[in-house]
Amino acid sequence: MHKLGMVIILIGNYHKDKQESMIRYSNMLYLGFLDAGYCCKIWTPPVIFGRLISSTSFGLGKWMSYLDKFIVFPIVLRFLTSFYNSKNTIYHICDHSNSIYLPHIYGESKGITCHDVLAIRGALGYSDAYCDASFFGKLLQKWILNNLKNAKILTAASEFTLKQLNELSPKTENQKREIIYQGFNANFSILSKEEVKVILSTLNLDNKPYILCVGSSQLRKNRIILVRMLEKLGHRWEGVICFAGEELDDTIIELGTELNLLSRIVSIKSPNHETLVALYKGCEAFIFPSFSEGFGMPLIEAQACGAPVIASSVAPMPEISGDSAIHVSPDDSIGFAEAFLKLKDIEYRERVIFNGFENIKRFDRRLMIDNYLKLYN
């Protein structure tokens, strides 16, 4: 028996775009609402024109995906929501970049999760967002922002994101805006020490001390500072830097070559979940030097795996980590080097790890689901 006869319909992302984090997020909400006893469904844009292409990232593929997302799905939404138009039906758009679907949803209870406003701010000319936009991209981000203003319920992934959103678009009289921290979208306690060792051996990292950095090669991720940090460490540490996520870009390769450090830089492209967990568990430290984030999920993933974390001092990293990470200015390579060397003190290192385990209690999935249900009820 479903609670209160309530139906929660989640609007998810277009699968052909392969936005894995957003797909995991909508699935996490789906399973969380089901576990809480509610009827829940996920609707995503149908892949029709997208079947004809291999990638939606550029060229014709991008425009074919736009037909599915911006033409076909709004029509589908209008048709489907006309049958689910009751006071007991809640619609929640899981990704703020899909706010453009809001006008096509019939119903009174409609909400959106805003994970960040980086692309929006970048499109509006804010250089600190580190997100450039094309002409069409600027139009799209303005379209997204205008629809965010019309959501009756708007949740933000962090206090920092809510602050930036309020600066761009003040809250309207009939709108609820609240911070709901994201919960973990996967299990990060799945591997034993023996399993970690086996996985690291396949990556040739089982006998090498390494520092881990997880994320894309985007400029805002600030990967380059780790290469400069490695130079500053000199002979005080002989390990390697492991970049997990996208492949190394030319800037990293060129600087690594110039400093004669390229042999100490490792790239793990698109690791699966078990490999990522093993990388977190085996590293001497996880470093998150980003210039710009909306939340910073890798930071707490690393803490969940028992890695000591050194993070950028730029918001929202201190908000998400609290006092459980070491914070350094993102342009201070010497500061990152010194922070890492402090972890040689075993007692200090253990304290940082313990504080990390305490910090992640704030990001329990059940707590996130409870907060959403309180907000809608």
What pLDDT does residue 189 have? 87
Evaluate whether residue 376 is within a structural domain: no
- Domain final position from 179, 203, 235: 179
Evaluate whether residue 188 is within a structural domain: no
Evaluate whether residue 370 is within a structural domain: no
**Burial grade of 163 (CB within 10 A; 0-12, 13-18, 19 or more):** middle
Domain shared by 215 and 355, yes or no: yes
Domain shared by 174 and 197, yes or no: no
Evaluate whether residue 371 is within a structural domain: no
Instruction: Kindly report the CATH number assigned to the domain that includes residue 309.
Output: 3.40.50.2000
Per-residue pLDDT reduced to its tens digit, 120-168:
999 999 999 999 888 989 999 999 999 998 889 999 999 999 999 999 9
CA pair distance 15, 28, nearest whole angstrom: 16
What pLDDT does residue 1 have? 41
Evaluate whether residue 253 is within a structural domain: yes
pTM of the model: 0.92
Domain shared by 214 and 355, yes or no: yes
Domain shared by 139 and 197, yes or no: no
- Count of domains observed in the chain: 2
Evaluate whether residue 373 is within a structural domain: no
Supply 164's token pair: 């930036």
- Domain final position from 124, 154, 179: 179
What pLDDT does residue 174 have? 85
What pLDDT does residue 245 have? 94
Per-residue pLDDT reduced to its tens digit, 74-101:
999 999 998 877 778 999 999 999 999 9
CA pair distance 98, 1, nearest whole angstrom: 31
Evaluate whether residue 60 is within a structural domain: yes
Domain shared by 278 and 325, yes or no: yes
**Which structural domain, as residue segments, surrounds residue 351?**
193-362
Domain shared by 208 and 357, yes or no: yes
Residues with Cβ within 8 Å of residue 63, at least 6 apart in sequence: none
Cα angle 182-211-209, degrees, rounded to a multiple of 5: 135
Alpha helices by DSSP H, 149-249:
159-168, 193-202, 224-233
Evaluate whether residue 120 is within a structural domain: yes
Domain shared by 208 and 351, yes or no: yes
